Amino acid sequence: MNFTGNQTRARRNSSRLIILFVLGVVAMTVTMTVMMMPLVLVTGAIGLSNFKASHITSGVQGGILLMGWLTGGMLLLPMLTLLRSLLEVWRLSAGGKVLAERIAARRVAPNVADPLERRLFNVIEEMSIASGVTMPSVWVMDTETAINAFVAGHDAADSVIVVTRGALDSLNRDELQAIIGHEFSHLLNGDCKLNIRMIAALAGIDILGKVPGLLIWPLTEVEGSLWQKLWFFLSWYVLVPIGWIFLLAGLLLWPIGAVGRFFARLIKASVSRQREFLADASSVQFTRNPTALAGALTQIEASGQGTLIRHRYAAALSHLFFGQAVKVWWQWLFATHPTFKERISLSCPGFDSQAYLRQRKTNTLGHRAESHP
């Protein structure tokens, strides 16, 4: 496999996509502002009609009022996007620890007694040496049975590597090492800093996708059964008359939010997919074992556990993970990761998945027989 060529091509594609990402954020703000213009014009026209035509100054006053509405409408969305992004930048200033805690991971101590977690620590130490990157703190998502992992942080000093319990339980040492090597590539190539910036930037755009839903159904965060949520929903419009105003505002803003969410997911998926190829190529370099990465991808597909994360923040962090963390419509467009077939064919051409699984099963049975004579 031509590792150098793959890395050069992936970096070139990633650079292009980063530029497209920046342009896309600007274009989204302009697009959403333009979509809001008809509403602003109608509102301004209503305000203008309140002036008596007989007044000499009515035209000037109406024009000023209309321009004020137009200017306010054009500035509102960019300001809202910017403020939400800056808030997320502030929240993430502490580094990867914030994201690990946000997704309910538990930090693993260096002297951990659990053999699987001890093995994880050893593998991470090995990949730290192989990549020349400072070892990040180690975290485990105890409640996630899926096979997945991610690394996050501004730099090596505040970075974390998070692994699901399913990955510890389902992968052998070589497969786990390949996944950890993949994550160290993100640290080495500066992907983590880009990913955190992307979280902040997309938070600004995505808030416009959440606002309509909150206006239409303000009690979306209420816990309880479906009937309880339905009761809260009906009560909002029966007991709170202003709820109908929120409903109308939500319906009017929904198209804007939908466009914002569409482009946010599109940009995130495009940037993330290209960088996964680079990380796979680097993982093979670190481990010197292309079969291990292809085997890990094959085992994930065969295990039935998959890579889907159940936590509520999985969607916001989906581009950080080793594998596709959430279900998406139109995977060819919105998937944050390439298919396993694509990744296997590039990392280990000619790899025989069925033969690997048969050999793996034989080795596993043999190991169990030795452990229990």
Question: Could you list the active site residues?
Answer: 183
According to DSSP, residue 135 is labeled: P
Q: Give the other-Cβ count within 10 Å of 25's Cβ.
A: 20
CA-based radius of gyration for the chain:
25
Distance from C-alpha of 349 to C-alpha of 346, rounded to nearest angstrom? 6
Distance from C-alpha of 166 to C-alpha of 163, rounded to nearest angstrom? 8
- For 52, the token pair is 């008596």
Bridge partners of residue 138, in order along the sequence? 161
Q: Give the other-Cβ count within 10 Å of 131's Cβ.
A: 20
Distance from C-alpha of 294 to C-alpha of 175, rounded to nearest angstrom? 8
Distance from C-alpha of 120 to C-alpha of 140, rounded to nearest angstrom? 10
- For 230, the token pair is 């339905």
Q: 62: helix, coil or strand? A: helix
Which candidate, 254, 268, 315, 329, places its Cα nearest to that of 32?
254
Distance from C-alpha of 48 to C-alpha of 348, rounded to nearest angstrom? 68
Place of tokens 């909150």: 214
Residues in the chain: 373
Distance from C-alpha of 73 to C-alpha of 62, rounded to nearest angstrom? 16
Which candidate, 341, 362, 350, 337, places its Cα nearest to that of 291?
350
Q: What is the full DSSP assignment across 265-307?
A: HHHHHHHHHHHHHHHHHHHHHHHS-HHHHHHHHHHHHHHS--S
Task: Name the pairing type of β-strands 137-141 and 160-164.
Answer: parallel
Which candidate, 309, 365, 358, places its Cα nearest to that of 162?
309
Place of tokens 């569409």: 262
Distance from C-alpha of 93 to C-alpha of 308, rounded to nearest angstrom? 27
